[in-house]
Amino acid sequence: MDYSNFIIMNHELSLVVVLVALLLADLFGKNKRIFQFFAMGLFLVHTVLGFTHWNIGEASAFSGMYVTSEIHVLVKNILNIGTLIVFIFAFYWNENKNKNQVGEFYFLTLSTLLGMYFMVSAEHFLLFYIGLETASIPMATLVAFNKNKKESAEAAAKYILTAAFSSAVMLFGISLMYGACGSLYYGDILIKFQSTPLHIMALIFMFAGIGFKISLVPFHLWTADTYEGAPTSVTAYLSVISKGAAAFALLCIMIKAFANYPGTWQTFLWWIIVITITIGNLFALRQKNMKRFLAFSSISQAGYIMLGVIAGTPQGMAAMVYYVFIYLFTNLAAFGVISAIENKSDKLTMDDYNGLYSTNPKLSFVMMLAMFSLGGIPPFAGFFSKFFIFAAAAEQGQYLLVFIALLNTIISLCYYLWVVKAMFINKSENPIPTFNSDNMTKIGLIICTVAMIILGFISPIYDKIIAISFGM
């Protein structure tokens, strides 16, 4: 028994320290504002520290149950950055509408983040399962945080029930996998896995559970309802951080455990990607509620993310991580604007956004950038990420898939442009009045905007990611 194994879990340990500190601070601190600054400062320190963990390099602990490498560190750092931005956007909401549960908000969010760390770093299905559950069960309570609204409770109920259901399904898959392979270490499965029906069935059941987290069709149905009902900050967190972590974990599993038989899973993943993108887009077309709209948009984005998985190459992994990285800023910018508006005026539907440009030009501008970036319009960062992920898929000869995905971007562009149209072109009798966002929101929006504009041009980021990626 060598407990020094814990030492290499830098991220996890430092996050645990943050968690404990927050628990204590929440216990003794009275002033919520100071507490928030403390929490964010602490988390900022954690985030910054995260960047110093590069030097660990490739290492595995607990006899191969936990693994870390530069790409894992990077992914965790990306998750940290995302979470930090979510906190920034949540500041105002916490201060005014969530006064009584500020400490819990931070604690629960960070514990789900810890779960995601485990998910990402797991090399064993048990740890993966625990991580997944840590990332989803407390999330259900976060979804229910909005105490004034029925929708919040409903969303939470739907979320927890489907989450439990999906985890049961996944477990069933894992159990069969255990039965078929005799071990649940990824490395062992890689050796034992064969293309027998049982193996494949186990794989699919297990895949469904992760697909639920990434909200792939047909495991996506909870997404829109939960996103709509949850507090906007939580929605943002769900749509970016949780999804990104799960996607990366899935890719790791596929590469590490099932790389010997890629044909078995690429076939069904191909179809899942196609229907995910298409269904996501078709539903997004009809949405009027901005959060719900972004929910469906994020479903179709999940389909694009999966292109990196289906490629399964280092290129695919790099493209996927990069995609998530860009997607984080983009989607958070959109949610930032939405929550800024929701906080000030409680308006959430697209029609309310009519004429927004005339009253709140800056917010509209950010929103427009976010929409363009989501739609993959250059020169914004979304274009680059989309291009690279398509390139990764095309490299594996998935031209048809790329083509279908690209045709779908037409539909997606259509609804992204509708938002732009609402803000810029449509006229409104009573537009949302001009208001000043709080400073934290401003900071968050500025970060996101700058990121959206310049990230694509900074090529070292991608080159660095590809250098540390691995694949089949």
Partner 1 sequence: MSIPVEYYLIVSTLLFFIGVYGFVVRKNLISILMSIELMLNAVSINFVAFNRFVYPEHLEGYMYSLFVIVVAAAETAVAISIIINVYRKMKNIDTKSINELKN
Partner 2 sequence: MELTNLAPIVLALPLLMFMIIGLFGYKMTPKFSGILGTTAFSIVTIVCYYIALTYFFGSGRLADGSMAKEVIFNFEWLRFSENLVISIGFLLDPISAMMLIVISTVSLMVHVYSMGYMHGEEGFQRYYAVLSLFSFAMLGLVVATNIFQMYIFWELVGVSSFLLISFYYTKPSAVKAAKKAFIVTRFADMFFLMGILILSFYTQTFDFGPLTEVTNNHVAIVSETMGGVTFCGLSVISIAVFLIFLGGAGKSAMFPFHIWLPDAMEGPTPASALIHAATMVVAGVYLVARLFPIYFFEAHDVLTIIAYIGAFTSLFAAVIACTQTDIKRVLAFSTISQIAYMMVALGVSGYEGNEGLGFTASMWHLFTHAMFKATLFLAAGCVIHAVHSNEMDAMGNLRKHLKITHIAFLIACLAIAGIPIFSGFFSKDEILVAAHEASPVIYWCQTLVAGLTAFYMFRLYYRIFWYNEPDYGHHTPHESPANMWIPLMVLTVYTCTSGFFPFTEYISPDLMGFESHIHWNIAIPSVIVALIGIGIATFMYKKKTEYPDKVVACIKNTYHYAYNKFYIDEIYLFITHKIIYKCICDPIAWFDRHIIDGFMNLLSWITNKTSLEIKSFQSGNVQQYAWVFILGVLSIVALTIYL
Partner 3 sequence: MELLTASNIIFFILAAAIILFGILTVTSKKVLRAATSLFFVLFCIAGLYLQMNYQFLAAVQLSVYAGGIVVLFVFAILLIKNLGEETEQLCGAKRALGIITALTGLVISLITIYKYGFHTDSDRCNDIAAIIDMNEIGQTLMGTEKFQYILPFEAASVLLLACIVGSIVIAQNHKEEKK
Note the residues at the interface with partner 3 (CB under 8 A): 1-3, 5, 16, 19, 61-66, 100-101, 104, 107-108, 111-112, 114-115, 118, 124, 126-127, 130-131, 133-134, 137-138, 140-142, 144-145, 147-148, 156, 176, 179-180, 183, 185, 196-198, 201
Q: Which does 285 bind (CB under 5 to 8 A by kind): partner 2, partner 3, partner 1, none?
A: partner 2
Q: Which does 389 bind (CB under 5 to 8 A by kind): partner 2, partner 1, partner 3, none?
A: none
Of 299, 261, 269, which Cα lies nearest the Cα of 282? 299
Which residue's CB is nearer to partner 3, number 197 or number 263? 197
The CA distance from 88 to 232, in Å, is 12
Per CB under 8 A, does 349 bind partner 1? Answer: no
Which residue's CB is nearer to partner 1, number 60 or number 69? 60
Q: In this structure, what token pair is assigned to residue 201? A: 């069935």
The CA distance from 20 to 24, in Å, is 6
Amino acid sitting at position 337? V
Which residue's CB is nearer to partner 2, number 16 or number 411? 411
Instruction: With beta carbons less than 8 A apart as the criterion, state whether 466 and 320 touch.
Output: no
CB of 170 to partner 1, least distance (A): 9
Of 325, 173, 177, 306, which Cα lies nearest the Cα of 250? 306
Q: Which does 175 bind (CB under 5 to 8 A by kind): partner 3, partner 2, partner 1, none?
A: partner 1
The CA distance from 247 to 213, in Å, is 8
Beta bridge partners of 66: 61, 122
The CA distance from 336 to 331, in Å, is 8
Q: List the interface residues with partner 1, window 121-160 (CB under 8 A).
A: 125-126, 129-130, 133, 137-138, 140-141, 144, 150-151, 153-158, 160
The CA distance from 277 to 302, in Å, is 8
- What is the widest separation between alpha-carbon atoms in the chain? 71
Per CB under 8 A, does 218 bind partner 2? Answer: yes
Of 77, 86, 146, which Cα lies nearest the Cα of 116? 77
CB of 77 to partner 2, least distance (A): 33
Q: Which of 6, 37, 38, 165 binds partner 2 (CB under 8 A)?
A: 165
Other C-beta atoms closer than 10 Å to the C-beta of 19 total 19
Q: Which does 62 bind (CB under 5 to 8 A by kind): partner 3, partner 1, partner 2, none?
A: partner 3
Which residue's CB is nearer to partner 1, number 170 or number 452? 170
Which residue's CB is nearer to partner 2, number 193 or number 322? 193
CB of 144 to partner 3, least distance (A): 5
Instruction: With beta carbons less than 8 A apart as the criterion, state whether 331 and 381 touch.
Output: no
Contact flags string 180-199 toward partner 1, x per CB under 8 A: --xxx---------------
Per CB under 8 A, does 165 bind partner 1? Answer: yes
Q: In this structure, what token pair is assigned to residue 227? A: 């996103």
Q: In this structure, what token pair is assigned to residue 397? A: 């000869």
Window of 49-57, 168-176, 269-277, 344-352 that interacts with partner 1 by CB under 8 A: 168-176
| Polymer length in residues for the chain | 472
Q: List the interface residues with partner 1, window 59-78 (CB under 8 A).
A: none
- Tell which phi-psi region holds residue 347, choosing left (phi > 0), alpha (psi between -120 and 50) or beta: beta
Q: Which does 37 bind (CB under 5 to 8 A by kind): partner 2, partner 1, partner 3, none?
A: none
Instruction: With beta carbons less than 8 A apart as the criterion, state whether 306 and 275 touch.
Output: no
Of 45, 50, 54, which Cα lies nearest the Cα of 21? 45
Enclosing H/E stretch for 91: helix 70-96
Q: Which does 2 bind (CB under 5 to 8 A by kind): partner 2, partner 1, partner 3, none?
A: partner 3
Which residue's CB is nearer to partner 1, number 47 or number 136? 136
Per CB under 8 A, does 12 bind partner 1? Answer: no
Which residue's CB is nearer to partner 1, number 158 or number 386? 158
Whether omega for the bond prior to residue 314 falls within 30 degrees of 0, making it cis, is: no
Q: Which does 268 bind (CB under 5 to 8 A by kind): partner 2, partner 1, partner 3, none?
A: partner 2
Contact flags string 396-425 toward partner 2, x per CB under 8 A: ---------------x--------------
Amino acid sitting at position 327? Y
The CA distance from 189 to 258, in Å, is 7
Which residue's CB is nearer to partner 3, number 94 or number 364? 94
Per CB under 8 A, does 162 bind partner 2? Answer: yes
DSSP tag of 289: B
The CA distance from 272 to 249, in Å, is 17
The alpha helices in 150-261, defined as continuous H runs, are: 150-181, 186-192, 197-214, 221-229, 232-237, 243-257
Q: In this structure, what token pair is assigned to residue 150? A: 């029925």
Residues lying near partner 2 in the complex (CB under 8 A) are found at 157-158, 161-162, 165-166, 169, 197, 200-201, 204-205, 208, 212, 217-219, 221-222, 224-225, 264, 267-268, 271-272, 279, 282-283, 285-286, 411
Residue ranges in contact with partner 1 by CB under 8 A = 125-126, 129-130, 133, 137-138, 140-141, 144, 150-151, 153-158, 160-161, 164-165, 167-169, 171-172, 174-176, 178-179, 182-184, 224-225, 228-229, 286, 292
